[in-house]
Amino acid sequence: MTKFNKTKLGLLLVSFILVSAPVFGQRFAGGFKAGLNFSTLKGPSETDSSGSEVEENKTNTGFHIGAAFRMELTEVFGLRAELLYSQKGTTYNYDGNSWWVFYPSAGNPIYSTGIRQEAISVTNTYIDIPLMAYARIGRIEVSGGVNASVLLGSRGTGDLTYRGQSLSGANIESFDIALDYNYFSDKYGEANTLEEHKRTIGGNTVGIPKNIGAYYFGVDNGEKLYQRLDFGLNAGLSFYLSHTLFLGFRLNYGLTDITNGEQDIARAQLAADRSFILRTQDHDRNFSLQASIGFNL
């Protein structure tokens, strides 16, 4: 989605609230909801030189909590708006051919190829603002609409294992690294160098940090991996246990690419000049299923 289209959608949402509130204010009611999010990212998987997929995104579990508001237009139809604190994200796995760059205390970087196994749980915390129309018949309510989200924080934790050979043919023993990412505050090249693995590669001793930040391998451009704004579509189904208490299920599909291509680095290989390959043409979208319990006043 272009910046122009994002702006138009944002103005539409604001206009919806400003115009609707005075018209239907006499039928306005509030409420509360909380529950779980089962989320992942939808996008193309990276492939190795043989065309085999080497990465996948699986479901990650978070929660949501917040206020719900509704305006009854008739006994059947109405409008619903919410303000939610919501955790989304993904469980990312990579297993296949890859690369690693080692930095000796003196001399040039040492480039290598090998096998990388990486698993990281990513939690992105949003303020979600869904705006929806609904139809309620008896105990069943069906809804659909749009969603605007502002990213408050982005964290990732996991581990990585690598083994391989340098370009000169020196073997590199397997090593493990803990991943503790703060995608907003981590700096370019950041790592814990107080604790290191020591390896001798082609006569050079290198230190390999046991803990690295999100941009240990990154582009020094000040960009962050995840975008601040997201827009998407919602579709939901609710079952009312009583006049006010309900169980709700909602599907959210993001329309925007939430990863910044200027920091989305390919893990399968480096460019011919040994620079990073940026995945600027890939589009990763939020996809989540929400299960809630709530009540209307």
| Tens place of pLDDT per residue across the chain (297 aa) | 544 454 555 545 545 544 444 444 458 899 999 999 999 999 999 999 889 999 999 999 999 999 999 999 999 999 999 999 999 999 999 999 999 999 988 888 999 999 999 999 999 999 999 999 999 999 999 999 999 999 999 999 999 999 999 999 999 999 999 999 999 999 999 998 778 988 889 888 899 999 999 999 988 999 999 999 999 999 999 999 998 999 999 999 999 999 999 999 999 999 999 999 999 999 999 999 999 999 988
In a domain, 297, yes or no: no
Using alpha carbons, list the distances in angstroms from residue 187 to 166, 190, 195, 199: 27, 5, 18, 25
SS3 100: strand
Place of tokens 């949501």: 64
Give the model's pLDDT for residue 4.
46
Cα angle 148-154-156, degrees, rounded to a multiple of 5: 140
In a domain, 204, yes or no: yes
Distance between CA atoms of 98 and 266, rounded to whole angstroms?
9
In a domain, 130, yes or no: yes
In a domain, 296, yes or no: no
User: Residue 55 is encoded by which pair of tokens?
Assistant: 């990465």
Give the model's pLDDT for residue 28.
87
Distance between CA atoms of 70 and 296, rounded to whole angstroms?
8
**Domain span at 178:** 3-288
Cα angle 195-197-107, degrees, rounded to a multiple of 5: 105
SS3 89: strand
Distance between CA atoms of 210 and 45, rounded to whole angstroms?
27
Contact 39, 286 (CB under 8 A): yes
In a domain, 22, yes or no: yes
Give the model's pLDDT for residue 12.
52
- Burial code (b: 16+ CB inside 10 Å, e: under 16) for 226-254 equals bbebbbbebebebebeeeeebebebebeb
Place of tokens 């390999």: 208
In a domain, 270, yes or no: yes
User: Total structural domains in the chain?
Assistant: 1
Which residues does 118 contact at the CB level (< 8 Å), separation at least 6? 92, 93, 94, 95, 158, 159, 160, 161, 179, 267
Cα angle 248-236-245, degrees, rounded to a multiple of 5: 25
User: Residue 153 is encoded by which pair of tokens?
Assistant: 């924080």
pTM (2 decimals)?
0.87
In a domain, 79, yes or no: yes
In a domain, 294, yes or no: no
User: Residue 52 is encoded by which pair of tokens?
Assistant: 């085999």
Beta bridge partners, 201, equal 204
